[in-house]
Amino acid sequence: MNLDTTDLALVHRLQEDGRTSYETLAAQVGLSRAAARARALRLIEDGVVRIVGVIHPAVQGRTVSAHVAIAVDGPAAPVARTVAELSEAVFVTLTAGQRPVIAELRTTDFDALSGLVADIGRLPGVRGVDTTPYTRVLKDPYLPVTSPGAVTLDETDHAILRELQSDGRMSYAELADRIAMSAAAARSRSLRLLEAGVFRVAALVRPGTLGMGHLAGFAMRRSGGERGAAGVRGLLATDQVQFATECVGRADVIGTVGGETLADVLGSLEKLRALKGVHGLESWLHLELVKERYDSLTG
């Protein structure tokens, strides 16, 4: 599907807030409400975007996240597909590099992470697992902006989350019918969960849609003090950086950059190497996205 500049603008707006009204979308991209609605529905029906409720992992009790890089003996694809079957694996790719399988794991605690990594290490074909736990997410297009505090969810809250996971733009009237409550109560409950940072509604975008057909991961070492902080600020200001998190282990920051061409990706990596405070950057090219499921309540 060929997207014009208006389609791309709609996708960007839906990434920011998947429940943005058609009136607001129309005003933002310069269309009538009917035209904005028709375009947005076409993007959804053609599979360019999926509008889903993305639940904060802490709500599921998954407070520990980690990047794992897996070395293999023999073909890497079977290993990647086995790892992708794990509920704790939310992102799995096949890559070009020394460790051809990369995954992001989310677990309840460090003991659970340690046990899961040990299990992965015993899988057929796995030669080694390099684990880098996250300490602070710096940039994530799918994570709710506000981290949830001590939120207690009842059965009605869980029912709302389950429905909005499958269709983030579901009307409050339809949501109310599905969970047997009034539309006003469904709206009030949903807004309370949104404002508390329990979940957000966002567009999950088909790879390559936004001119980011090529993706590369990076592991950065940076100096401490103000030079290191300046490097992080520069990192977040780079549009090509799609994801970044501070870590402990072999890297201080791990992230993902995208570009329309391999030359664009190389240029982005070179810009990262040039940031103040950066004194080491390892990179790898993502070849095949095996799993990306940030929208699942159970993983």
- CATH label of the domain that carries residue 252: 3.30.70.3460
Q: Identify the pLDDT of residue 298.
A: 43
Residues 40 and 72 in one domain: no
Q: Could you tell me the residue range of the domain that residue 137 belongs to? A: 59-142+207-292
CB 277 within 8 A of CB 231: yes
Residues 234 and 278 in one domain: yes
Average pLDDT value for the chain = 87
Is the residue at 225 inside a domain? yes
Is the residue at 147 inside a domain? no
Is the residue at 216 inside a domain? yes
Q: What is the per-residue pLDDT across 158-201, written as a single tens digit (0 to 9) for each?
A: 999 989 988 899 999 999 999 999 999 999 999 999 888 888 88
Q: Which residue has the higher pLDDT, 25 or 227?
A: 25
Is the residue at 269 inside a domain? yes
Question: pLDDT class for 228, splitting at 50, 70, 90?
Answer: low
Residue 112 phi, psi (nearest 5): -65, -40
Q: Which residue has the higher pLDDT, 184 or 3?
A: 184
Q: Identify the pLDDT of residue 293.
A: 77
Question: pLDDT class for 214, splitting at 50, 70, 90?
Answer: confident
CA of residue 9 relative to chain centroid, distance: 20
Is the residue at 179 inside a domain? yes
Residues 126 and 177 in one domain: no
Q: CATH number, domain at 178?
A: 1.10.10.10
pLDDT > 80? residue 5? yes
Is the residue at 298 inside a domain? no
Residue 83 phi, psi (nearest 5): -60, -40
pLDDT > 70? residue 38? yes
Is the residue at 299 inside a domain? no
Residues 23 and 121 in one domain: no
Residues 218 and 128 in one domain: yes
Q: What is the per-residue pLDDT across 120-153, written as a single tens digit (0 to 9) for each?
A: 999 999 999 999 999 988 888 777 666 776 678 8
Residues 280 and 179 in one domain: no
Residues 128 and 75 in one domain: yes
Question: pLDDT class for 281, splitting at 50, 70, 90?
Answer: very high
Quickly list H helices, 86-171: 110-121, 155-166
Q: Identify the pLDDT of residue 36.
A: 94
Number of domains in the chain: 3
pLDDT > 70? residue 294? no
Average of per-residue pLDDT across 270-276: 86
Residues 104 and 129 in one domain: yes
Residues 74 and 26 in one domain: no
Provide the β-strand partners of residue 102.
69, 93
Is the residue at 202 inside a domain? no
Residues 72 and 168 in one domain: no
Q: Identify the pLDDT of residue 230.
A: 66
Cα angle: 196, vertex 91, 130; to 5 degrees: 115
pLDDT > 70? residue 231? no
Provide the β-strand partners of residue 93.
102, 289
Q: Which of 41-50, 55-64, 114-123 has the lowest mean pLDDT?
A: 55-64
Residues 34 and 156 in one domain: no
Structure tokens that stand for 157 in this block = 């809250």
pLDDT > 80? residue 2? no
Residues 129 and 227 in one domain: yes
Q: Identify the pLDDT of residue 299.
A: 39
Interatomic CA distance for residues 74 and 270, integer angstroms: 32
CA of residue 87 relative to chain centroid, distance: 15
Q: Which residue has the higher pLDDT, 195 or 34?
A: 34
pLDDT > 60? residue 227? no
